[in-house]
Amino acid sequence: MASTQQFHQKLNQFNIPNQFHAFLSGHGLSGPDYGWNYFHKHSVDSLSYVGQQFQKAYQLLKK
């Protein structure tokens, strides 16, 4: 987690838009907040953010 936070801080230093959220969970195989359950719980928000960034970049390219 520390390296992910450092990466987030570096992006901020360069004024690169990003979001960082830390959720309690792990990479285990079972449980409501582990493995694929974790992925499914957070994938919509993650992919929506990525899609928004692609849309912003596309709009800039169209100008």
Domain spans of the chain? 2-62
Beta bridge pairs of residue 26:
34
User: At 12, which helix (H) or strand (E)?
Assistant: helix 2-13
pTM comes to 0.59
Residue type, 1: M
pLDDT digits (tens, 9 = 90+) for 6-53: 999 999 999 998 888 877 776 666 777 777 788 888 889 889 999 999
d(CA 44, CA 28): 21
Determine which of 29-33, 54-58, 59-63 has the lowest per-residue pLDDT on average. Answer: 29-33
Token pair 């694929």 is found at: 36
